[in-house]
Amino acid sequence: MNGSAQAALHEQAAVATRGQFGREVFVRAVVEVSNFCRENCAYCGMRRDNRTLARYRANHEQLADLLVHHRPASVTDVNIQAGEDPVAVREVVLPLIRTLRRETPLGVSVCLGTLSRELYVKLQSAGATIYIIKFEIDDAASYEKLEAPGTLSERLDHIHSLAGSGWNVSSGFIVGLPGQGPSDLAASLKLAGTLPLRGCSVSPFIPGEATPLAGEVVANTNWTLNCIAALRLMRPDWVIPAVSALNLADKDGYRRGLRAGANLVTMNLTPDDLRGDYVIYKRKRFIMTEERVLDAITAEGLSPSRRSLAEHYRNGVTHPAATGVMTMAVA
Ligand code: 5AD
């Protein structure tokens, strides 16, 4: 789908977004606290078999100082992200969350992989309320072939049990993995719709350096944007991020995401000396700085939400989902 039908789809999604959230978008910061990873996902540059990375764990005091004293005024939430590294969860993430909750009003989300129940409980007790855990792809055989974490059904079990124990769960999937066609995208949308989520991301596949998929092609941006729009129409109340990979897929991709139903932006506050080795796609990243994020919002006639995402989830009403979108063409 492209041309005027696509423009109409995106406009309909933008209208649905404004109906639910007005012109405000959530602004969060991400800190990437460890690039150690025990997983080996074929698409991801941080996979354990990639020996070309210098692995690091950040110092929680350095990050706390940055976030408590030097964060941009527009930031209402922090997402703490890492490879799947339980050591970093204990040594860096937990103390950082405790400091943030004690000294700031920031909402805290975490994206740390599939962990033990014990660690989920500790993270929640420390004060995190949002868990980001992507299902990546809807098909169990492809999931296994791509060496994504555990099995698809285990991943879905974690999503259900996190939601059942009080987390606000956001998931996500990748569009345009090698061999994926339109029917796979419809299936990923459909799977997302069955899960107990408050948000979902759509990431365009970017061939990662030093991965088995390095020679494959970048996802089609239109497919990615059409999935964002379809997701918005399917679940008007979900929080849908404009992911930074949209910048790598297309020079205007990020702003087009905001035009097609996304309502959350993320600025990267990982200290410069660490960032170089946090490589999901390529070393040469397109870093979403405060300036780039705020420029994109302003250029789209939007404004930063003063209410945090965590607060929104705490108080927000959920609206009944729209139906009928599943049959819509996304390609
Ligand atoms: N292209 C697109 N998205 C990717 N991710 C990892 N590698 C890629 C890639 N090559 C996404 C996955 C993962 C998140 C951290 O980044 O969805 O969960």
Chain centre to alpha carbon of residue 59: 23
pLDDT at 178: 96
**Average pLDDT over every residue of 137-142:** 97
pLDDT (tens digit, 9 = 90+) per residue, 32-51? 999 999 999 999 999 999 99
Q: Tell me the CATH number at 17.
A: 3.20.20.70
How remote is the CA of residue 317 from the centroid of ligand 1, in Å?
30
* Triad 108, 316, 16: Cα angle to 5°: 110
Amino acid at 249: A
Q: How far is residue 296's CA from residue 206's CA, in Å, rounded to a whole number?
A: 21
Amino acid at 84: E
Has residue 330 been placed in a domain?
no
pLDDT (tens digit, 9 = 90+) per residue, 66-122? 999 999 999 999 999 999 999 999 999 999 999 999 999 999 999 999 999 999 999
Has residue 327 been placed in a domain?
no
Q: Are 246 and 253 in contact (CB under 8 A)?
A: yes
Has residue 323 been placed in a domain?
no
Q: Are strands 107-111 and 77-82 parallel, antiparallel or unpaired?
A: parallel
Q: Are 28 and 269 in contact (CB under 8 A)?
A: no
Give pTM, 2 decimals. Answer: 0.95
DSSP conformation class of 136: B
How remote is the CA of residue 46 from the centroid of ligand 1, in Å?
10
pLDDT at 42: 98
- Residue whose CA lies nearest to ligand 1 atom number 18: 134
Q: Would the CA dihedral through 212, 215, 220, 225 be positive or negative?
A: positive
* Residues linked to residue 109 through DSSP beta bridges, in sequence order: 79, 130
Q: Are 31 and 269 in contact (CB under 8 A)?
A: yes
pLDDT over 70, % of the chain: 95
Ramachandran assignment for 232, one of left (phi > 0), alpha (psi -120 to 50 degrees), beta (any other): alpha
**Would you tell me how many other CB atoms lie within 10 Å of the CB of residue 55?**
15
pLDDT at 197: 98
Residue closest to 231 by CA, chosen among 264, 190, 276, 259:
190
Has residue 87 been placed in a domain?
yes
Has residue 209 been placed in a domain?
yes
Is pLDDT of 151 > 50? yes
Cβ 280 under 6 angstroms from ligand 1: yes
Has residue 328 been placed in a domain?
no
pLDDT at 321: 46
Has residue 322 been placed in a domain?
no
Cβ 206 under 6 angstroms from ligand 1: yes
Cβ 205 under 6 angstroms from ligand 1: yes
C-alpha distances (whole Å) from 223 to each of 26, 163, 228, 273, 297 are: 24, 29, 9, 35, 22
Cβ 120 under 6 angstroms from ligand 1: no
pLDDT at 329: 59
Q: Would the CA dihedral through 246, 247, 251, 254 be positive or negative?
A: positive
pLDDT (tens digit, 9 = 90+) per residue, 301-320? 999 999 999 999 998 655 44
**Average pLDDT over every residue of 238-252:** 92
Has residue 36 been placed in a domain?
yes
pLDDT (tens digit, 9 = 90+) per residue, 253-298? 999 999 999 999 999 999 988 888 888 888 878 889 999 999 999 9
**Average pLDDT over every residue of 188-195:** 98
DSSP conformation class of 207: P
188: Cα within 13 Å, side-chain hemisphere: 31
Instruction: State the total domains in the chain.
Output: 1
Q: Which domain covers residue 52, as residue numbers?
A: 3-317
Banded model confidence at residue 324, pLDDT cuts 50, 70, 90 = very low
